[in-house]
Structure 1
């Protein structure tokens, strides 16, 4: 009976001491102390580093998959643009109907650059997170922060200056740690939202379908090799053969023109559909690798460094 009141009194006295110690701190020092305490509890309560790195792994895989799709589209378009269709009606001409895909090729090149930058940015966050999630570093910063509190309240000017410098370094570490923790979790939460995930899956499937359609167009544009002209006999048969060949040439030119027109129409539709999917992908990755990290960075700066 007597042990329980004694333990409750000791708990109440500890809470009172802790409350009194917090009241002696400035608001920013209180926030830093609470964040450090929360980070230490989370470090020993669950492996937040592994959870965060797993989220970054998923984001990196998405960026690399989009980059691979973009490079595949570039390769197929390059093959189509290098193909030529020969046409001879009096004079010989070589047409390149694949040039109609030039605007799409430029857009996909920019898309691949965005995906490359996104992949590099995500890997930088992963590397920084792997360094910041070390337990020894967190304990060291905690000790430096406690030492800075004592130095800031010393009676010497050099002590207060050194204490302020240590506090600023501790807040900088906390801001980087909070950024490395919050950004991947926020990005995954936004990506897993129903609307964003549906748009991402639809655009990814659309781009894969675009690659298959372009490969089909590449096979269509490959015409057969021209047949060699055989020498004719006497002049009367030669005239007849030349008239027949000219008629075949006109018929072949008409078929080539129809094929080019069909190709241009199909390529224009493919380019229109692919452009829409590329714009959606760029918007999603700009949101996840630029806008959301900037928002988290601004929040960390306002909370701890301003």
Structure 2
């Protein structure tokens, strides 16, 4: 017994039940831009955008809730694929890496305080709903799952989302976040690049819009395929969008790159990105775009419940 125990006021132990209150260890989040500590509930309310404007990485649940009208959406089941076609192993078996990544994502999704559940077996999650009253399929690439790497599961998810969009006469919106192709699947992962390109062509032939929302980071084989094939390219502020990282380029050309190189604002100035959009305004921007791009589509003929279109703020 230490000296603090001797000076504790009488009855204090009984009031506290003899136990220490458990305080969440993630109640405060440090802003990577300003360094300030932000109260987690406030950060969640602002869609994980800090007061300094830093857009923190988020998963499918945050995207679906913020992008669909009234936060209403239905999950799209995604097909299963062979887990380890090449029986790959480095310092750990590939199947073990998949299990660890899935466990991490499951724990994150389990913290949701409502009935929305995403059964996510890989880096992709898809849902269908309405944006501005127009039917839309949103496919979200989750960087938290093995860096959002593109493999067979991600390719099949993309194709399933595209097929659903065509079947439901809906727009296809893809939120990209990836470090590139998944090395553990070798050539099979690289083959997803032409497969997703063909799926995009099917969406276009159906006369439906394909919109890409580029988030931090989007690179490698993803930026070399479906991330740069949209009818409209939106990007979150200061997102890194590249094929190779800046350090690799600097070492190759032996020159210092311009300030902000490969960031959203730089690419917008060069004509690669159409708009840089704050995450909190993304729903309204998408609603406005779909209102123009899908003006001829009958949004009541797709079997989705009708919703009242939200007002669209000027951007």
Give the TM-score of the pair, scaled to structure 2.
0.21
Name the structure with the higher helix share. Answer: 1
Name the structure with the higher strand share. Answer: 2
**Larger of the two Rg values belongs to structure:** 1
Give the TM-score of the pair, scaled to structure 1.
0.21
Structure number with the bigger relative contact order (C-alpha 8 A, sep ≥ 6) is 1
